[in-house]
Amino acid sequence: MYVIVKNVLRISVRNLVEFLCTSGDIDKRSTGISDVHAMQEGARIHRKIQHAAGSAYHAEVPLKMEFNQVTNFGNPYVIQIEGRADGIIADIVEDEEGNKTPLGPVTVDEIKTMQSGITKLKEPVYVHKAQAMVYAYIYATKNELDSITVQMTYCNPETEFTKKFVEEYTYEDLSSWFNKLLLDFKKWTDFLLDERARRNESIRNLSFPFEYREGQKAIISSVYRTITSKEHMYIQAPTGVGKTISTVYPSVQAMGRDYIDKIFYLTSKTITRTVAEDTFEILRDKGLSFRAITLTAKEKICPLDECECNPQVCPYAKGHYDRVNMAVYDMITHEKTITRDVVLQYAKEQTVCPFEMELDASYWCDGIICDYNYVFDPDACLKRYFAEGNKGDYCILVDEAHNLVDRARDMYSARLIKEDFLEVKKLLKDPSEKKIVSAINKCNKELIELKKEAKSFKKLISFGKFSLALERLGGVLMKYLERQKGKPVYPELLDFYFDIRHFLAMEDIADEKYVRYVEEDERGNFVINLSCIDPSGNISTRLGQVKSAIFFSATLLPINYYKEMITGKVSDKAIYANSPFDKDKKRVIVARDVSSRYSRRNETEYRKICSYIDGMVKAKPGKYMVFFPSFAFMEKVYDLYTNYYLNPFDPEVNVIMQSSKMSEIEREEFLKNFTSKEDSLLNVTFAFSLEDGKLSDGLKVDDKFDRANLKRDIKSLVGFCVLGGIFSEGIDLKEDSLIGTAIVGTGIPMICRSRDIIKDYFNDNKKDGYSYAYVYPGMNKVLQAAGRVIRTADDEGVILLLDDRFLTPEYEALFPREWDKVYPINKDYLENVVKDFWGIK
């Protein structure tokens, strides 16, 4: 909305009036369309009106004015308001020095396009009129006019029907109105400038809150230099280095010296956002004055059971814009740590939409903690910061940056299903929808031709006539949905439109880093794919809108792969931080005689895996996690292990297993088994029964066994989990909460067409396609799972790798530096090696 350079705050006329003069409801029952095509159509009609207005019409006139201000605490600053008036209608003379002076009456024209509703307008929309009035005030002031006319021109770009509203103002009335507007804005700018002064003063006195760990000073100074030199950097740092504080602290220091204006802390998982919140809180405890907000997805923060932005059913949408500024100001003047719960509290008190409120509040915050998609996703990014052409003095800190590659591939890819076209067509029965039906039929015809040509699968250079047909359908749908604004629309139709719009947007940016292909999926649907294989170009485009980006993770190996996939520049800076923890407190063990290869997934191999798990647990009772390549694999081993390796009459080991669709409550309960200091191991289901000596599922402890006896006997907990799942990353199980982990397999993704397309793409580009598509992403999951064991300097534990491929040079080259000693063994030696590590005789 605004840009601050030293003590000058710049804001556009449009942003100023939209912030202060917007009123009414949130109503997103239609699209709220403001995409590229609509903007292009609006620009076209603007030019047509301007060209037809005659020689006295001066189009796109730049206007700017500065206003000297002083805050409540005596800090001087300047508000600079600027923009371009659509038209100045006047006879203007120009002197020899190029100065332009109007002769006679002057009219400021503001052009707005609307798809529907123009004929019903009885007066201009106030926020539109306010924009014209600000231009009129600036122009009248600069040219010393006693009066000036404001003209609002509304036009339907489809029919080109035009309606005008004209009103004359004396300079005195216009000046009175504008000064009140400026005074309303000054309340916010005074707050902002005083808070910035307070923040910068606190940063000057801020020291690092901990004793420096080994290598931490080097990271901090490198991050600071990277930000101040407007560059990007990668940090590969194992657990314990303190990656969050080592990136946040120098970023804050750079902010205090006006190198950056905002810090975006990006995470891929909700659970890791609390780490950033806690880090800012630690610095506040040391005296930092810093306001940070955590953004929550609309579906998760909406107070209603069903998220529907309709003022007829949602009290928070009704009249939202009439109250939101008051709610935001109340919150930012009372809170420094603005979390989901804080936003909900203020939103409910003022009855405003909490999602829209948190986005507005971010303007007045120093730090924004959010998901990757708020910056990088072309559909979900914060348009107020990252709309096309916008740039800001922002620093982006990307936590767990290894996740960005696949996330970005998904964000910048698109797919459409042929059968969806026909399903939407069935919904359209009204005569007014004939154009849509005709456009769908045209798309379907082209899809039939593609299907005939491709059969079950084919890569394509282009989608041919289908792209043109789809663009026409997108345009027809856009106009139809704008006409339906405020009326009910089929949700399927709206979703269909958004899918088309995303596909067309990706077509616009698709380059040689994309692969186009069509296929028949497992359900028999015909799918058209626009797949972003190398997302670095799209990511770099976004990074061009910020000052600096720091990418950090415990698993950025090999580093050049991530450089190629994220910024596309192998020359970007990188740091490999050494672990500050004692290397002797962990032991990495690799099984020579086990494999998770698809060709060897049989009962014999499953029994070997069970033997390794059994040996690890018996050697040292405690809490363990075992990670598997898939749910199916995990369930087969679980059945064998619980049926044949656990003694139902003397249950020393309790086994719990991750399910495929766990709720947040179920996840928390699963982890409580590890974190609770009390004996929570009884709150589980055992897989055996005493009846007839048979094994059965679903029998609870209380059904057959004495609780007190079991509490005495149970010594170990084993959690069966899926590699790459919710428990293999982003969780902290410290000290005796987890003393070991076994990782079954190398983590390579399932062999599939989409991964093979990635492999072929990189092979064609003279890279190691198999490693890019399978090995590197798989090894990353392995390292993440292994990283659950050692979380603090007091932790000790065993990392057991169950796949002989880990002993090949290809995989050993990907081991982190701190895995300097690895113990290759056969299963007969496991217990001895584990006991030796724990010092057990």
Residue 412 reports pLDDT greater than 50: yes
Residue 692 reports pLDDT greater than 50: no
* CATH entry, 414-532, from 3.90.1640.30, 1.10.3720.10, 1.10.275.40, 3.40.220.10: 1.10.275.40
Mean pLDDT, the chain, integer: 91
Average pLDDT of the segment spanning 29-45? 60
No. of helices (H) and no. of strands (E), the chain: 30, 28
Average pLDDT of the segment spanning 445-454? 94
Residue 676 reports pLDDT greater than 80: no
225 Cβ contact list (under 8 Å, min separation 6)? none
Residue 30 reports pLDDT greater than 70: no
Residue 28 pLDDT: 72
pLDDT greater at residue 261 or residue 38: 261
Could you give the C-alpha distances from 216 to 220, 221, 450, 631, in angstroms and in order? 6, 9, 56, 39
Residue 33 reports pLDDT greater than 80: no
Q: What is the pLDDT of residues 709-762, one digit of tens each?
A: 444 456 899 999 999 999 998 888 988 999 999 999 999 999 999 999 999 999
The 8-class DSSP code of residue 726 comes to T
Q: What is the pLDDT of residues 232-272, one digit of tens each?
A: 999 999 888 999 999 999 999 999 999 999 999 999 987 78
Domain residue spans of the chain: 2-189, 201-408+561-567, 414-532, 583-838
Spatial contact of 111 and 87, defined as CB atoms under 8 Å apart: yes
Cα distance between residue 113 and residue 38, in whole Å: 9
**CATH fold of the domain at 2-189:** Lambda Exonuclease; Chain A (3.90.320)
Which has the closest alpha carbon to 71: 180, 191, 223, 198?
A: 191
* Burial of 79 (C-beta count, 10 Å sphere; 0-12/13-18/19+): buried
Residue 27 pLDDT: 82
Residue 37 pLDDT: 54
Residue 94 pLDDT: 83
Residue 31 pLDDT: 47
Residue 32 reports pLDDT greater than 50: no
Helix (H, G, I), strand (E, B) or coil at 783: helix
| CA angle, residues 766, 768, 769, in degrees to nearest 5 | 95
Average pLDDT of the segment spanning 283-299? 97
Residue 53 pLDDT: 85
Spatial contact of 577 and 237, defined as CB atoms under 8 Å apart: yes
Residue 65 reports pLDDT greater than 70: yes
For residue 778 the two structure tokens come to: 């798989």
Cα distance between residue 361 and residue 380, in whole Å: 17
Could you give the C-alpha distances from 283 to 292, 545, 597, 791, in angstroms and in order? 12, 28, 48, 22
pLDDT confidence tier of residue 649, bands split at 50, 70 and 90: low
Average pLDDT of the segment spanning 613-629? 96
Residue 157 pLDDT: 81
Q: Give the helix/strand (H/E) hosting 215.
A: none
**C-alpha radius of gyration, the chain, whole number:** 31
pLDDT confidence tier of residue 698, bands split at 50, 70 and 90: very low
Residue 1 pLDDT: 87
pLDDT confidence tier of residue 38, bands split at 50, 70 and 90: low
Residue 310 pLDDT: 86
pLDDT confidence tier of residue 36, bands split at 50, 70 and 90: low
Residue 295 reports pLDDT greater than 80: yes
pTM of the model: 0.91
705 Cβ contact list (under 8 Å, min separation 6)? 651, 686
Spatial contact of 10 and 3, defined as CB atoms under 8 Å apart: yes
pLDDT confidence tier of residue 496, bands split at 50, 70 and 90: very high
Q: What is the pLDDT of residues 107-141, one digit of tens each?
A: 999 999 887 778 889 999 999 999 999 999 999 99
Which DSSP string corresponds to 659-678? -TT--HHHHHHHHHHHH-SS
Does domain 583-838 sit in CATH 3.40.50.620?
no
Query: CB-hemisphere CA count at 13 Å for 352?
Result: 27
Place of tokens 């332009």: 100
User: Among 7-11, 427-431, 455-459, 648-652, where is mean pLDDT lowest?
Assistant: 648-652
Helix (H, G, I), strand (E, B) or coil at 57: strand
Residue 600 reports pLDDT greater than 50: yes
Most confident of 51-65, 354-368, 694-708: 354-368
Percent above pLDDT 90 for the chain:
76
Cα distance between residue 353 and residue 322, in whole Å: 12
Average pLDDT of the segment spanning 692-706? 42
User: Among 100-114, 143-157, 479-493, 494-508, where is mean pLDDT lowest?
Assistant: 479-493
Does domain 201-408+561-567 sit in CATH 3.20.20.140?
no
Residue 683 pLDDT: 40
Residue 42 pLDDT: 72
State the CB neighbour count (10 A cutoff) for residue 432: 10
In the chain, % helix, strand, coil (3-state, to 5) comes to 45, 20, 35
Spatial contact of 634 and 645, defined as CB atoms under 8 Å apart: no
Tell me whether domains 2-189 and 583-838 share a fold: no
Could you give the C-alpha distances from 80 to 9, 16, 65, 139, in angstroms and in order? 6, 11, 6, 15
